[in-house]
Structure 1
Amino acid sequence: MMTTANADEFVRRFFGDGNFVWPRLDPANVAVVNLLQPFLEALEERGECPLVLPRRRMSMLPTEMYVIAWDTAHASRVRNLLEAAVAYNWSAFDGRVAALKQSDPVDAAVLDFVGPGTTYILKPSFETVGRATTALQRMVRSLSGRPRRRPTQVRPVGRMLREFDLALASGAVDASATILHEIEQVGGISHENVAFLRVRRLSRLGQDDVLLADRSLSALVYSEPPFLVREAVLGAWARTSVLPMLKTEGREAALRVIEGADPDVAMLVDRRIVRATDVDAAAVSALVAIARGDAELAAALVDAFSLPTEIGEMGRPGSVPEIEAGDAPATVGPVEEASAHPDEIGDATDGSADSWIAWIQTLERLGSPQAVEAPEAEQWQPLWQVDETLAETVDSFNDLNIDALLQGVALLLEHDDPDNPAPKFASALLDRFLLAERFTPADLGAICALIQIILRGAPTEATYDQILRDVLGYSTQWVSVANAVRVIDIADSVACGPAYGFRNNFVTALLSPLSEQCTRLSSSIRELAELVTADLSLGLDWTVQDAVRTADLETQAVPVTARVLLYSLDRGALARSSDVIAAQWPEASVQTNADTVGGDALKMHARNADVIILATRRAAHAATGFITSNAGEGAIIGYADGAGSASMVRAVERALAEWVNVSTEAV
């Protein structure tokens, strides 16, 4: 805990340069002293109450409110308090901590006092700043004197790993970051395995440059990583370094990049890479095989994938000169296929699983959350061909090992075929979520994805109605303003489904509680909810009073002329999100794309976009990496935190708010 001197120094700096609220900390300014006194008491207590301090950058601008938590764990609790106290009633609030700048004197004071990731900045308008201040005073009074919560009960690592896998598979980007941070803080798995999780997440987001700059990459390359991690690193390396060089400078230049790589990423290439699903990883692996003189592997990769012409010509049978092991460049020397490490996250713990049925039986027998990855799943019989048998296996699954089964949902979502769904299997897993009463944000994302699979399977009216009634039976546990985005994702998915009898009742039951509290929703989320209910003629009212409208995002008061690129394989979510953008920000231009691989059109859209939003649940990894690597300088890249249109709209809203802030600062 910091000393009183540190606190005094912080107050002096916070109300110094760049803040006109309390000039020279003049004690004779009675009005300001009386306003600040209840807020400053939190400095002495350092309890559950956050430190709330006002800032005015210029006299003609409204006051901003800095809400400062004492650490990152406290910040996560403060987020919910702000949602209840002021969000959308009196100030815009997207739930994210502020990205404070060391170059700003007030921000620097906060960073030096409590560090990054702890502070929210509320920006009410002139019309609502008084009521926002009153609401914050009420919140401070309710928390005054409460000691800070220091939870001692740690969640099981297996539970956190299950939620992390589900968050990744369902596209819940923010949730996956939060869970990964929790795993890093709690421990229970090795630093090496934490690095594996981090690489998987960065790969899903298409952040190839960040992945290759990760501080753990050198150790990871030499540690025999799991297959998914191996493929992710090779794909990022291919898109960032090797394939661009091959295209611009030719074969010899690309081979020099491979031989000079540090760390030696080529060590990750072995016979298993033929099972890869990332064509870029396969392409760079073929080049490594050519450099080694491994004609067999090069030919296998050329036969299995549609590789660039230059690689295809070099790798065809008879074109690769055989090189003795001792003559191969040291950095790309032959690597024998290594056996999987059973204790590593990402590889199966029991190699006997050779089908989906055997894999589920292994989960039931071992009851281990580490037994859920199956690198061989691409070779198994497709899910839709064993749909009914899988559903029966899930129905009879031992309840004692339910965690392992629910973590396995991530693997189902990874191998979901949009054109050939497995609706009975998805329905059985959905029942397990409901019976286990698992409704965390990651779980709700998975539930939404399972409902989408069921709908693509064209259920009968009786089956469909029963599924909706089952889900609705537990809705009181998770339908709330705090989960508004997840709720609308699910409601919109059902609204786009078959027009059976219970559909409208289901959507009404989910959205009515949100309609009653619509002043707590942002304008774009209200717009989307109104589109959903209007499509079904439900008659729910989403209008708000003019006084409340002034608290919506600053983007409402500033012309938004940004060029927006939306990427997802879910064309329905793209269309719905485009409609909301057109209604909320009519001066913005929107491009949508659902290509599975990079191309000239996608490259042009990425380079021209000011704001790029990626939905990783329904996206091709190669395309997301292609988009991020071709994004224009200064482009703001955001990620939908879920599987539906509401998640995408929320990401657009956040990104456009950031775009407005950057544009305003530039002026």
Structure 2
Amino acid sequence: MSPTADTDALAQAAAGVDALHTTPRLLALVNETRTHALGPGEVGLAVRNDTSGVLWCLLAGDPSTHTDLDALARAFVWPSYARARAPEAHLAQGDAFADAIHRHAAGGVIVLLSPIEGASACAKAVDLMLDTRSRRPLGASVAPRHIGRVLRDFEDAVARGDATAAHDLLDEAWSTGRLSVVNRSFLQTRELAAQRAWQEVLDHALTHRLSDLDLPRSVEHDLVKAIYWGVLRDALDRGDVASALGAFRDRVQPALGDIFRDHRFVPSAEGRKAWMVRWAAVGGVWPSAVRDEVIAAAATEEERAELNALATHAQFSDSTSEAFARALLSAHEDAAAFALAQAGSDLPLGDRAGVLVQAAVRLDDPARLADAAQAVEAAGGPTEVAAPAALAERIANYPRPAVPVDSWATWLNAIYEDPEWRNAIQVADDQGEAWTESLAHDQDSLVEEAAIVEALAGENALRMVLPRLVRAVIPTGPQRLETLRSRGRILQGLAYAISEDPASGLADLDALADILAALLETGLAPDEFSLMCDQIETVWRRAGGAPRLARWIVDVLSVLTDYPCPSTSRRAALIGALLAPLLTDAGRSKPLIPREAWLEIDDLLEGNELKDLVPESIRQRTERVDDDIRTEFAHLANRNVLIHTLVPAVAERAAAYLKTLVPSARVITDESHVGSTQLREHARNADYIVIASRASKHAATEFIREEASSPISWPSGKGWSSIVDALRSNPSLA
């Protein structure tokens, strides 16, 4: 049957349903459904009168959307307003209406039957259901996901400094109904930290009394960093340690002092300095072991010297007496007590084990609990431990990893030896950031771990950490290219593991894009490139290929066009596969993908054989600027806009585009690595500020935040279209 016949069949059926014409939104959806096949994440509607009522057919663009619609229909429509019916009972093959529906709904159809007298009420219920779905975060409405996967993607967005994605993923997590108010408050702390809004982090901690709660390690570290940037940094930069100590005593210790609970595995120089200041400011005597653990974690010799200098302002003791350890436990300095007992080889084994057991239980740290279990065994069993018998017996049976774990490499070995190790994910959550920081300064090739990664593909523990493991493996620093070449094997193993994950998300796509860029930079053979393309296509299809991921498409196209590819034909095939779901969206009356995204895609494909992958109809459509588009940016008229990114061409293209829409806007671009008098003036005078967090330096970002008097927006992608989108209407994150 021709598309015209399908359109006529659906139109004729809808014309006889009076209730449809009282709900304009449903009528518009029916008309839109008639004109094009649905893409992933899209919903359609077809209606007709039936012998026993009105038939409401909800069409899904893909299976995950069908699942989502089924859950929503149960909640909003039936059984109160309609009955769910088997599609085959009402949509018989050969019927023009039924055949048109099956051709339009790749993901299936949900059929509801309402009585004639209840048709208007059913129409209102369906309208409310679809309106609610449209208001949900796109990630939640396209494919309902397990809360653990949403949180994994959230943590990846925070680690990348992608504040916009973090905000959307937090909304998605909250919409699942599986997130407690307390945990939401923790995630809001992480979101603010992704924006590097340190004063807001501290205000949030005070408002929600976070110091009274058991904090996840990542949240504790965000708060410690916020204290450094918001309270201590200025004085320490001046070399005025006395003022820093005074500021800590006056502004931190009274209300936020209890945030400092665990000094071990602090994954940043700012956090380590804050801990040294804390020990000096609080006063008293501290075990030398805590100082040594923090200094040992220093990333550079320069930082080590700074920490040693700060340590001279605190009082440390080499004593490892039981009395000292018990005093620390009584003061709830559990991490310090554990460090003392672990270093205290002179302590009687029973006393040492007793301190380790009590401190580890309070800290709820799997690594320390495993060490305490070993100490109980060394002491001769629970009866020999100077701790409550029930507690000692419980810790004696605590599960330990198959091998000692102190890095990503040993963690991988541990889950390879024991895939059932129940604390694997928590250990990675607690220590992973510190391992990543350490690996950034290491030139280890990790060749032996590549085979382990491939063998563990599909194991839940590995799947939950894959994105952060990719970030850890891709090196930084002066020896980056040499180290990158040596790590090609493990990067290929990680790409394989990601492609084998049946529940891929945005974090997996970002990780694959990073792997692709790294491998193309070092050189890929044609067959290796083809395999990488296959893996990207697999994950892209699994993620739904939704229009909401257009910014990721732009980022991948930048990689594919910036680096030489060993096979131009395979590159073209990959780009075609990635663009296909977006072409469906372009045919909508109101596309989800903004005009500037298509313009940037066209820019990237300009000048080679790839340009033909964008149909001429789309190119002509995006060349037109209608009043609706100008209205979306009208608030920029006669305003100052500051765009900060380290990629000048991206900023200049965004500025040029904005000037075509709003000629009176004054757009300033900046690519500074650090603050300056000129940047201070720009930040203070700007009405709108955009910081491309994925292409900026923390020093300049911090400087702009301190000097800005206007909202800051954070683009989710690396391209110029993401910068423009961040300025559309009202900035989403201010």
TM-score by length of 1: 0.63
Matched, 1:638 2:713: yes
Matched, 1:365 2:437: no
- The 3-state SS of whatever aligns with 1:628 is helix
Matched, 1:589 2:648: no
Matched, 1:387 2:367: no
How has the CA–CA distance of structure 1 residues 534 and 334 changed in structure 2, closer, same or farther, with 3 Å as cutoff? same
For residues 62-99 of structure 1, the C-alpha deviation after alignment (integer angstroms, 9 at most, x for no partner) is xxxxxxxxxxxxxxxxx9779xxxxxxxxxxxxxxxxx
Match of 2:561 in 1: 495
Match of 1:75 in 2: none
Deviation at 1:371, TM superposition (A): 4.5
**8 A contact 2:190–2:222 mirrored in 1:** yes
Deviation at 1:398, TM superposition (A): 5.4
Deviation at 1:494, TM superposition (A): 1.7
Match of 2:705 among 613, 624, 628: 628
Match of 2:475 among 417, 420, 426: 417
Q: Which moved more, 1:229-238 or 1:341-350?
A: 341-350
Paired with 2:212 and 2:585, the residues of 1 have a C-alpha distance of: 54
- Where do 1:497-576 residues align within 5 Å? 497-500=563-566, 501=568, 502-511=570-579, 514=582, 518=586, 520=591, 521-537=593-609, 538-539=611-612, 540=614, 541=616, 542-544=619-621, 549-554=626-631, 560=637, 562-567=639-644, 571=646, 575-576=649-650
Counterpart code for 1:336? A
**8 A contact 1:267–1:335 mirrored in 2:** no
- Where do 1:201-600 residues align within 5 Å? 201-214=191-204, 219-223=209-213, 225-244=215-234, 251-261=241-251, 263-269=254-260, 272=263, 275-293=265-283, 304=298, 315=309, 336=336, 352-363=404-415, 364-366=419-421, 369-373=425-429, 374-377=432-435, 378-379=437-438, 385-397=444-456, 399=458, 401-402=459-460, 404-413=462-471, 416-418=474-476, 419=480, 420-421=483-484, 422-472=487-537, 475-476=540-541, 478-500=544-566, 501=568, 502-511=570-579, 514=582, 518=586, 520=591, 521-537=593-609, 538-539=611-612, 540=614, 541=616, 542-544=619-621, 549-554=626-631, 560=637, 562-567=639-644, 571=646, 575-585=649-659, 588-593=666-671, 595=673
Counterpart code for 1:527? L
Paired with 1:535 and 1:342, the residues of 2 have a C-alpha distance of: 59
How has the CA–CA distance of structure 1 residues 372 and 50 changed in structure 2, closer, same or farther, with 3 Å as cutoff? farther
How has the CA–CA distance of structure 1 residues 345 and 560 changed in structure 2, closer, same or farther, with 3 Å as cutoff? farther
For residues 308-330 of structure 1, the C-alpha deviation after alignment (integer angstroms, 9 at most, x for no partner) is 99x959936756567999xx9xx
For residues 86-143 of structure 1, the C-alpha deviation after alignment (integer angstroms, 9 at most, x for no partner) is xxxxxxxxxxxxxxxxxxxxxxxxxxxxxxxxxxxxxxxxxxxxxxxxxxxxxx9996
Deviation at 1:381, TM superposition (A): 8.7
How has the CA–CA distance of structure 1 residues 605 and 143 changed in structure 2, closer, same or farther, with 3 Å as cutoff? farther
For residues 498-548 of structure 1, the C-alpha deviation after alignment (integer angstroms, 9 at most, x for no partner) is 243332443344336646754734332222112101154524342227776
TM-score by length of 2: 0.58
Paired with 2:605 and 2:180, the residues of 1 have a C-alpha distance of: 48
Match of 1:69 in 2: none
**8 A contact 1:272–1:337 mirrored in 2:** no
Deviation at 1:181, TM superposition (A): 3.8
Match of 2:126 in 1: 146
Paired with 2:540 and 2:187, the residues of 1 have a C-alpha distance of: 32
Deviation at 1:470, TM superposition (A): 3.5
**8 A contact 1:564–1:589 mirrored in 2:** yes
Q: Which moved more, 1:315-324 or 1:258-267?
A: 315-324
Counterpart code for 1:392? A
Which structure has the larger Rg over C-alpha atoms?
2
Match of 1:132 in 2: none
Matched, 1:163 2:153: yes
Deviation at 1:225, TM superposition (A): 3.3
Counterpart code for 1:576? V
Paired with 2:225 and 2:649, the residues of 1 have a C-alpha distance of: 30
Of the two structures, which has the highest relative contact order with CA contacts closer than 8 Å and spacing of 6 or more? 1
Paired with 1:414 and 1:217, the residues of 2 have a C-alpha distance of: 34
Counterpart code for 2:126? R
**8 A contact 2:228–2:270 mirrored in 1:** yes
Paired with 2:516 and 2:42, the residues of 1 have a C-alpha distance of: 28
Match of 1:655 among 703, 712, 727: 727
In the alignment, structure 2 segments of 5+ residues that lack a partner are 1-18, 30-40, 45-119, 134-139, 339-358, 371-399
Paired with 2:656 and 2:644, the residues of 1 have a C-alpha distance of: 17
How has the CA–CA distance of structure 1 residues 555 and 180 changed in structure 2, closer, same or farther, with 3 Å as cutoff? closer
Deviation at 1:271, TM superposition (A): 7.4
For the aligned residues, what is the CA RMSD?
A: 5.1
**8 A contact 1:161–1:369 mirrored in 2:** no
- Where do 1:89-238 residues align within 5 Å? 146=126, 156-184=146-174, 186=176, 193-214=183-204, 219-223=209-213, 225-238=215-228
- The 3-state SS of whatever aligns with 1:360 is helix
Paired with 1:641 and 1:157, the residues of 2 have a C-alpha distance of: 21
Q: Which moved more, 1:511-520 or 1:359-368?
A: 511-520
- The 3-state SS of whatever aligns with 1:585 is helix
For residues 440-479 of structure 1, the C-alpha deviation after alignment (integer angstroms, 9 at most, x for no partner) is 3444333333333333443333322331244235655544
How has the CA–CA distance of structure 1 residues 505 and 430 changed in structure 2, closer, same or farther, with 3 Å as cutoff? same
Deviation at 1:396, TM superposition (A): 0.8
Paired with 1:567 and 1:387, the residues of 2 have a C-alpha distance of: 36
For residues 137-164 of structure 1, the C-alpha deviation after alignment (integer angstroms, 9 at most, x for no partner) is xxx9996552755999985443333232
**Structure that is richer in helix per residue:** 2
Deviation at 1:655, TM superposition (A): 1.8
Paired with 2:144 and 2:365, the residues of 1 have a C-alpha distance of: 22
How has the CA–CA distance of structure 1 residues 611 and 282 changed in structure 2, closer, same or farther, with 3 Å as cutoff? farther
- The 3-state SS of whatever aligns with 2:670 is strand
How has the CA–CA distance of structure 1 residues 145 and 320 changed in structure 2, closer, same or farther, with 3 Å as cutoff? closer
- The 3-state SS of whatever aligns with 1:658 is coil
Paired with 2:604 and 2:517, the residues of 1 have a C-alpha distance of: 16
**8 A contact 1:231–1:281 mirrored in 2:** yes
Paired with 2:155 and 2:530, the residues of 1 have a C-alpha distance of: 29
**8 A contact 1:170–1:617 mirrored in 2:** yes
**8 A contact 1:302–1:315 mirrored in 2:** no
- The 3-state SS of whatever aligns with 2:713 is strand
How has the CA–CA distance of structure 1 residues 178 and 266 changed in structure 2, closer, same or farther, with 3 Å as cutoff? same
**8 A contact 1:565–1:611 mirrored in 2:** yes
- The 3-state SS of whatever aligns with 1:214 is helix
